[in-house]
Amino acid sequence: MILTESKSKEIFQKACEVLPGGVSRNTVFRDPFPDYVESASGCYITDIDGTRRIDFANNMASLIHGHSHPAIVEAVIDQMKKGTAYTMATEIEAKYADYLCNRVKSFDRIRFMNSGTEAVMAMIKLSRAFTGKPKIAKAEGAYHGTYDFAEVSQTANPDNWGDINSPNSVPLVKGTPKSVLDEVIIFPYNEIERTLAILNRYSDQIACVIIDPVPHRVGLVKGNPEYIEAIYKWTRKHNALLVFDEVVTFRVGYGGAQEIYPVSPDLTALGKIIGGGFPVGALAGSADIMELMNPRFGKPAFPHSGTFSANPITMTAGYTAMKLFDEEAVANLNSLTATAMNQIQESIKLADVPVSITGAGSMFRIHLKANPPKTYREAFQSKEVQKVLKNLLDYLYYKENILLVNTCTCMFSTAITQKEVDILSEAFLRAFKELKQQIIEIQ
């Protein structure tokens, strides 16, 4: 239940005087006010009013081991005593780079930065520098951070998305220059013939085709292997790069989601889990492409730096977290997530509601429709659907003390056990029964 008087409410009222909307990121806003954290450990968060919740969001998929993992905390404290950032290189930067390059076959070289957005931005700029071509191509609805070019058509809707055979490049932010839109080619995800036909129209201008192997906003549906391979072959033929955004999906497999495909990307943008709970981004890929960032022999084609890039706190936390997320840990977490999906499917069946579920690895998403979507346009939610989805999320949050990503998505951590999975599936059963009529009416 929402407390009429609470410490969180008081803080929020003051925050609204100094922060737009009272928050620094819209994803944590909750109507009528967000709750403020007191502490968090493992898979549980306690707010300052004393309510304890199970965390299935894990800071938007970034906490692969949940909160305050003892090994990460200890390693970071040790490093903090030595300093947090320097205008010098650190050994842990080289050590962590070596570890990740040995972990993923497509990683010859890697550069660290501070966010997934920055990693995608660098990936686009490096692709242009390498190919000498200006345009990028991305899937309709795919989220790739907040760079002007990367966010085009992120929230396209029926009023502006245009013909499926030639989707419009739709701005996210008011005032986005038309010149930005002109450099971004939009294609429908997982549709081979349509995608190739669109790419062919701009074959001499496209620097890279950006693929999220399991795009959250598109519906959290895996890219079909034949689709990924077809785009790979197209890029070989037309002097373009196939680049992956694995900021979210790197958790899917030991070597990222890319390990499930028969082809490898030229470049990969990383973030989230590789920071061990701290801000991080990284760009990795083929040695000949990454060489364009090399400053050893004069000014490189792509000069790159960043005040906090590869800072020792993030490097220490990330290295510790990823060493813990070994092949056994990946397999165990994916297995537990599959169990959760099966149990929620059973809850859907028992409640007899038109609901479906999609996902991969250690993440899944609930859709308020009987058939799971295969494309962004199928996954698109009307205002009526969004309203019911909010009611579902609020029920789980306030009545069941469960926190999910605001798309009704779960991003599991290794701190979650079968106990929490049982609580989750039972909570979904009660929620589906409570909101059954609302769910039926929006079909």
CATH annotation of 70-324: 3.40.640.10
pTM listed for this prediction: 0.96
Q: Determine the pLDDT at residue 5.
A: 72
- Report residue 350 as tokens: 């028992």
Kindly state the average pLDDT of the residues 200-211.
98
Backbone angles phi, psi at 211, to 5 degrees: -125, 130
Q: What is the pLDDT of residues 262-320, one digit of tens each?
A: 999 999 999 999 999 999 999 999 999 999 999 999 999 999 999 999 999 999 999 99
Per residue in 25-39, pLDDT (tens digit) is: 999 999 899 999 999
As a whole number of angstroms, the distance between CA 406 and CA 419 comes to 23
> Could you tell me where the DSSP H helices lie in 49-207?
58-61, 70-80, 91-103, 116-131, 178-182, 192-201
pLDDT at residue 198, rounded to an integer: 98
Sign of CA dihedral 376, 149, 60, 223: positive
Mean pLDDT calculated for residue range 404-412? 97
Q: What is d(CA 30, CA 32) in angstroms, rounded to the nearest whole number?
A: 6
Nearest Cα to Cα of residue 271 among 289, 288, 260, 284: 284
- Reported as a single tens digit per residue, the pLDDT across 415-426 is 999 999 999 999
Which positions are annotated as active-site residues? 143, 245, 272
Distance CA 100, CA 110 (A): 8
In 3D space, the residue among 257, 273, 223, 229 whose CA is nearest the CA of residue 119 turns out to be 273
Structure tokens at 181: 């839109």
Per the listing, tokens 């029920």 go with: 395
Q: Would you state the pLDDT for residue 204?
A: 97
Q: Where in the chain is the domain with CATH 3.40.640.10?
A: 70-324
Give the pLDDT score at 26: 92
Range list for CATH 3.90.1150.10 in the chain: 35-64+326-441
Given a cut of 70, whether residue 371 has pLDDT beyond it is: yes
Q: How many residues does the chain have?
A: 443
C-alpha 324/C-alpha 413 separation (Å) is: 12
Q: List, for residues 160-176, the tens digit of each pLDDT value.
A: 999 999 999 999 999 99
**Helical (H) or strand (E) element with 402:** strand 402-403
Q: Which CATH superfamily is domain 35-64+326-441 in?
A: Aspartate Aminotransferase, domain 1 (3.90.1150.10)
For residue 1, is pLDDT > 70?
no
User: With pLDDT > 70 as the criterion, what percentage of the chain qualifies?
Assistant: 99
**pLDDT of 141 higher than 80:** yes
Average of pLDDT values for 116-142?
98
pLDDT at 368 over 90: yes
Average predicted confidence (pLDDT) for the chain: 97
Share of the chain above pLDDT 90, in %: 98
pLDDT at 2 over 80: no
Q: Give me the phi and psi of 74, to 5 degrees please.
A: -65, -45
What's the pLDDT at 377?
A: 97
Average pLDDT rounded to a whole number, residues 191-200: 98
Work out the average pLDDT over 73-91.
Answer: 98
Write down the pLDDT at residue 356: 98
